[in-house]
Structure 1
């Protein structure tokens, strides 16, 4: 499926509704609720079986997803703020709660559940600037340099954290 061309038009989310999806352990979508379809512009048929990156906006630094995947693959839940890309090229910002789904018999990770909701404009503005800086570093020096900058940014704010809480820590400062 061809990625849409991003345009500078935000989709305003309903603060009373949640976007919900589930993926398998590799990140392929196995469930998408009606609101996810409505906001993203994709049908259930277009989403199911696709990698969740189908809605990844090019403004998102790869280091955010690197840290997210490292955390959830360790069996830890994580929260993250993400800018997504709709099928028509518009974008929407979400606060996402990623939860691990495990096989009840083996305890093995079998997938992930994510529910998303609207976040404040203030947090979006702060993170958009931080993400732009991380993306700029990634393009010039790579993901490792971007991660180093992010760790230094958080340490400068006076926090020593695990990446599982990275977005919660960023929110504390703003």
Structure 2
């Protein structure tokens, strides 16, 4: 599924009471997608199964937020984040995501589970300029890894300046 989707600028809205649910394996490949996810992402069930969850990554979404997500999940903790996703037709949709590791009886991570709901507009308006600045920092670097590290440091600096942790920051938006 190596195809490039170009953002159209058209925003799709998740229903007020709808919930997107997906599960992935340890490598982030989709193992389950509910009907709402399939509809919003505009991929078929067959296209989604086994595909990397990054398939719906919007290019305006800073990579450093996903680094934070994966770093947090590796510690067996949950994380909340505002995320803009890109559908197969180029439309985008915002979600408030809650991602948790799935543990076996011995406490080993065996996969990941994510529930996403429609966010309020206020937090999106507040997080968008921050994401834009983080993405611009990433783009300033020729090497993607260096860019991601620089934007991650920028995000940590923002949190330190406000004297809050990431969870507190996200929930305060």
Q: CA RMSD in A?
A: 1.2
Equivalent residue number for residue 153 of structure 2 = 148
Give matches, 1:1-174, under 5 Å. 1=1, 2-104=3-105, 106-141=106-141, 142-159=147-164, 161=165, 166-172=166-172, 174=173
Distance 1:55 1:168, change over 3 A: farther
CA distance in 1, matches of 2:168, 2:41: 25
CA distance in 2, matches of 1:168, 1:35: 28
Q: Structure 2: where are the runs of 5+ without partners? A: 142-146
Per the normalisation by structure 2, the TM-score is 0.92
Structure 1 segments of 4+ aligned residues over 2 angstroms from their partners: none
Deviation at 1:168, TM superposition (A): 4.0
Greater Cα shift, 89-98 or 144-153: 144-153
Deviation at 1:139, TM superposition (A): 1.2
CA distance in 2, matches of 1:155, 1:170: 14
Per the normalisation by structure 1, the TM-score is 0.92
SS state at 1:150 partner: helix
Deviation at 1:153, TM superposition (A): 1.1
Deviation at 1:167, TM superposition (A): 4.7
Deviation at 1:76, TM superposition (A): 1.0
CA distance in 2, matches of 1:7, 1:20: 24
8 Å CA contact 2:80, 2:170 repeated in 1: no
CA distance in 1, matches of 2:53, 2:5: 15
Cα deviations by residue, 1:91-124 (Å, 9 ceiling, x for unpaired):
00000110111112x3211100100000011111
